[in-house]
Each structure stands twice: as C-alpha cells, then as structure tokens.
Amino acid sequence: MSVKYTPVQWNANKYGYDLVLIGMVVLYILSFLNVAPMFLDHARPTDGPIVRARAFGTCAFLLLTIILCIGPLARLDARFLPLLYNRRHFGVLTSVIALSHAMFVMDWYFNFAPQSKLEGLLGANTSYGQVLGFPFEVLGLAGLICLGILAATSHDFWLNFLTPRLWKALHFLIYPAFAAVVGHIALGSLQSQDNSIFAIVVGLSTALVCGLHALAAWKERGCDKRGNADAGWIIVGDAGDIEEGRAKIIKLPNGDRVAVFRHKARLSAIANACAHQNGPLGEGRIVDGCVTCPWHGFQYRVADGRSPAPFTEMVPTYRLKLDQTTVLVDPNANEPGMFVEPTALPEHMQ
C-alpha cells in the first residue's frame, strides 16, 4: 500500500484479468478486420488501412463504454466488483488502442501532406461555426488527450504526488473524453456511411452509460435519505439488514458518508472514503478481519480504522449505539485511527 505506492502486488487475479482483457481485444480486432468489410457501405471500396483504423477506433469506443459502465454496475450489484478492482488496466489499454487508431488515421490521410501531420489534421477543416461539418477531428484529439492524461497518471505515485482529492478530480476527465469521442463518431464516421449498424451501437452505448449512472445515482439517493436525526444521532437502519462481513452506508448531514460493518456479531463504523483514492469502503467486505476496499484492496481494521502493519493509512471512526435493533451513529467523527469498542448485537441476532 503506502510503502511502495502499490496497494496490491501482481497476483493470479491480475494476470488472469489482463489476459482475458487482451484476449478479448485481439479477438474483436481480428473479427472486425475479417467481417466488417462486408458491412461497410460506401460508394467506393474501403481500403485496408481505413478498416484497420476503424477496427481500433470502434474497439477503443466499446472499451470506454465498458469502463464507464463498470462503476454504476458495481454500485447496483456487488458481483461486478471484480471488474472494478483492476479498472485502471482497462483504461490504460483503452488509451493505447485509441492512440493506435489515431496513428493509423494520421499515416493514411496525412502521410504525404506538405506540412506536419498534426498541422494537416488541424487545418483540414476549420468550420467551427456549424454543427454538420464541424471539425470532428478536434473532438477525437480532445478525447485522445484526456485518455492519455488518465493513463499517464494512473500509477499510485501520481495519486500521492497530486493528493487523492486532486487526483480524483483529474480522473473525472473520463466523462469529457466519452462525450468528445461520441461527438467525434457522430460528426465523422456516421456521416460517411449509409449502414445504420454502427449508429445503433453508438446510440445504445451512450444510452446505456447514461441510464446506468442515473440508476446508480437514484439508488444512492435512496440510501442517503435513510438517516434522520434522533437527539443528535443518525438512524442507520435495522441491524438485521446488515449482512455479516458487509456494511450499510449512511449519509450524514454534513455530506460525509459512514460505513457501518457487521463482523462476528458486532457492529463498527468507519468513514466510507478510502485513504487511497476515496474508494467506497462500504461497498467492500471484511477479509481476514479487515475492511477491504473494492477498488484497489487497501485494508483497515474495522474497530480503529487503521491499516495493518507495515502500512500507515488511517480513516476516521464513529461511535454506534443500539435502540433495540435500530442502529444509530454519532455524526461527529473521531480522529483517524481512534479505537472504538464494537457494539454487540442482541443475543437473538448473534
């Protein structure tokens, strides 16, 4: 974790994740190169370099769509958390494939231009005052730059150097990148072909990303409404609703979120934000007695919010109390790493 900026070393899970991901990408590109030319509807035959550019371009778009779907899917169903765990690998590969697409395009269209390839790209179309005919190349370049920044700063060194808040804000560039790529496709490739298959894919992908984010936000908003003040304490809910090794997340009046975990018939509460990248600790589970962040595996002891030695991360803890079977939390956070005696459940619930 904090010792070498690497929260989880390479393991069988990571190798398997990457091998499956790379295998699917290779299979898609090979399939596209062999099958897509039969469906590309143009006035003249499509050249091989163009097909290769579109193979990598469509692959990058689909990977970007999957990346943006993983987050809300993991919030809606914990079974998607394994995909979230190594999502940065997804992002770096997407950036590489998008760059390959750009290189194919630049080599084919601007290889023999009298000026540099970049000058040729930016000067080929300057109709910025209209919608149809807008320089879609600029949108593609903007999306590529965003993806490049995300890939270049994906290592934990940059997280530590920039601080988690700034690093997380920077990585929200994934959304402008997706918007730019959709605009790049809509004003570019979709304007030059009569076949509607790709237009349908782009439309459905965009609707899926927007729909899943809206659904996840609606679910989270429902969780936020559960808390009500009770003499300064906040109602979490019924203790029976908290599964063993899991948590219920509650939003405090100040906007912070608390994760209330159940472990060995006892309840403990810690801040929901991981000290690593503000990952949602409450969406993780307890492994070997420690809350394990679902994003990158950072761990914290549930009673004091401290990472096990030799790691030094800490998160705030909160006091709990029971009113029969109703769980209440003190909204005033303790200092990070402060021990709080776990609250024992009634005998009939143990």
Among 2-16, 141-155, 277-291, where is mean pLDDT lowest? 2-16
Looking at the structure, tell me whether residues 64 and 29 fall in a common domain: yes
| Count of domains for the chain | 2
Q: What is the mean pLDDT of residues 88-95?
A: 90
Domain boundary among 222, 237, 264: 222
**Is 6 among the domain residues?**
no
pLDDT at residue 3 in the model? 43
Looking at the structure, tell me whether residues 169 and 67 fall in a common domain: yes
pLDDT at residue 133 in the model? 78
Domain boundary among 199, 222, 245: 222
Domain range for 21 is: 12-222
pLDDT at residue 30 in the model? 93
Q: What is the mean pLDDT of residues 175-181?
A: 95
Strands of the chain, DSSP E: 229-230, 233-238, 247-251, 257-263, 266-271, 285-287, 290-292, 299-301, 317-318, 320-323, 326-329, 343-344
Looking at the structure, tell me whether residues 163 and 38 fall in a common domain: yes
User: Residue 57 — φ and ψ, nearest 5°?
Assistant: -65, -45
Looking at the structure, tell me whether residues 277 and 310 fall in a common domain: yes
Domain boundary among 222, 256, 278: 222
Q: What is the mean pLDDT of residues 24-34?
A: 92
Looking at the structure, tell me whether residues 125 and 149 fall in a common domain: yes
Instruction: Decide which of 72 and 230 is more confident.
Output: 72
| Residue 104 confidence (pLDDT) above 50 | yes
Looking at the structure, tell me whether residues 115 and 142 fall in a common domain: yes
Among left, alpha and beta (phi > 0; psi -120 to 50; other), residue 259 is: beta
In whole numbers, what is the pLDDT of the chain averaged over residues?
84
Looking at the structure, tell me whether residues 175 and 234 fall in a common domain: no
Query: How sure is the predictor about 197, in pLDDT bands with cuts at 50, 70 and 90?
Result: confident
Give dist(CA 321, CA 233) in Å, integer.
Answer: 9
Token duo for residue 17: 């994740």
pLDDT at residue 45 in the model? 55
**Which tens digits make up the pLDDT trace of 68-82?**
999 899 888 877 877
Looking at the structure, tell me whether residues 187 and 110 fall in a common domain: yes
User: Residue 169 — φ and ψ, nearest 5°?
Assistant: -60, -40
pTM given for the model: 0.68
**Is 4 among the domain residues?**
no
**Is 3 among the domain residues?**
no
**Which tens digits make up the pLDDT trace of 291-346?**
999 888 889 999 999 999 888 899 999 999 998 889 999 999 999 999 999 999 88
DSSP lists the bridge partners of residue 258 as: 250, 271
DSSP lists the bridge partners of residue 317 as: 270
Query: How sure is the predictor about 225, in pLDDT bands with cuts at 50, 70 and 90?
Result: low
pLDDT at residue 335 in the model? 92
**Which tens digits make up the pLDDT trace of 135-160?**
888 999 999 999 999 999 887 778 77
Query: How sure is the predictor about 120, in pLDDT bands with cuts at 50, 70 and 90?
Result: confident
Strands of 152-272, DSSP E: 229-230, 233-238, 247-251, 257-263, 266-271
**Is 7 among the domain residues?**
no
pLDDT at residue 262 in the model? 93
Q: Which residues of 303-321 are buried (b: 16+ CB within 10 A; e: fewer)?
A: bbbbbeeebebbbbbbbbe
| Residue 226 confidence (pLDDT) above 70 | no
Looking at the structure, tell me whether residues 187 and 52 fall in a common domain: yes
pLDDT at residue 151 in the model? 92
pLDDT at residue 253 in the model? 86
